[in-house]
Amino acid sequence: MAEKIIAYRFDRLEETLSQLNKANCAIVAGGTDVMVMHKSRRGVPPKIPKPIIFIDHLPELKQVNQNGDDLHIGACCTYSELLRDPLIPIPLKKAIKTIAAPAIRNRGTLGGNICNASPAGDTLPLLYIYNAKLLLRSVNGDRIVPISDFIQGVRRVQREPNEILTEIILPSVLEEGAHVVFEKVGNRNADAIAKVGFAGYIRTNGTVIDDVRFAFGAVGPTMIRSVDIETKLLGKNLPLADGDISQVVVAFDKMIKPIDDQRSTALYRKTVALNLLRYFLTSSTHNQHI
């Protein structure tokens, strides 16, 4: 006989938070990672060692709105919903279109991609360069954490058991003069886990670099970003001198330490990551106003 699983599905966020405070539960949003993580052999129901609490239907977690400069995205918006939303930045939509296939995009959520904290999570490089902040709520109140502090390692996040990620906040996402790119290298254009992910952001004042950010996915335990390296490019003129480009590439060459696995080799990953960076630094000269 199949084992019984206790499952909760409340109508409102407050009741959900209250239950999470009473008992340690496994949060299920779209379930596309949870179900894979707990899969059993064919025909046998998944084994989840804790009570389950569903959150994907909660209206408080499904809103997208612009508040001043900040874009607020509900953690349980599915990829398909985000693709339809006019407020979502085009580079993020580009990243979403590379995720899985439509059936998974109809279930999988942005909050799930963050809390799952896979090094190959496709939205993560962009969320890092957008300086995303995460709103976590519990019965004890709210707190806001930068995504780079929240994600601590492979499938490791800084979340208390009674907290829910409710919103992803993208500050100043529509800045004038900013040029943002996302690239994913996988076996296919979609429905493939990334071998390498890259996101780049550059904002110029005339030809002078005001702000620049890079993040790499799938080449380390978490996204690779270095504010120190980025700062060295501030105030430089476009087009960048070959020497400046090489300095940045060499600095990331030292930082990026990918692994060999069933999807790719460390050497391939590092070569492609650095090529994407070099291409971005060279081509952003021509794309300043996109």
Q: What is the DSSP letter of 117?
A: T
Distance CA 248, CA 245 (A): 5
Q: Which of 51, 95, 67, 221 is nearest to 148 (CA)?
A: 221
Among 20, 27, 64, 240, contact with ligand FAD (rule: CB under 6 A): 27
How many whole angstroms separate alpha carbon 24 and alpha carbon 38? 17
Contact (Cβ atoms closer than 8 angstroms) between residue 119 and residue 125? no
Position among 16, 17, 31, 198 found at the interface with ligand FAD (CB under 6 A): 31
The footprint of ligand FAD on this chain (CB under 6 A) covers a number of residues equal to 29
Q: What is the footprint of ligand FAD within residues 171-230 (CB under 6 A)?
A: 193
Q: Which letter, b or e, does each residue of 220-236 get, where b requires 16 or more Cβ atoms within 10 Å of its Cβ? A: bebbbbbeebbeebeee
| Binding of residue 82 to ligand FAD (CB under 6 A) | no
Which helix (H) or strand (E) segment holds residue 170: the answer is strand 164-170
The total number of residues shown for the chain amounts to 290
**162 touches ligand FAD (CB under 6 A):** no
Examine residue 81 and tell whether it contacts ligand FAD (CB under 6 A).
Answer: no
Indicate which single residue of 58, 71, 75, 96 sits in contact with ligand FAD (rule: CB under 6 A).
75
Nearer to ligand FAD among residue 48 and residue 212 (C-beta): 48
Answer for which of 52, 58, 91, 122 binds ligand FAD (CB under 6 A) is 122
Nearer to ligand FAD, 192 or 238 (CB): 192
Q: Identify the residue among 107, 137, 225, 270 touching ligand FAD (CB under 6 A).
A: 107
| Tokens found for residue 273 | 């990551």
d(CA 30, CA 77): 9
* Range in contact with ligand FAD (rule: CB under 6 A) among 115-123, 137-145, 223-231, 261-269: 115-123
- Six-digit token string for 152: 């601590």
Binding site for ligand FAD (CB under 6 A): 26-34, 36, 55, 75, 99-100, 104, 107-109, 111-113, 115-116, 121-122, 159, 164-165, 193
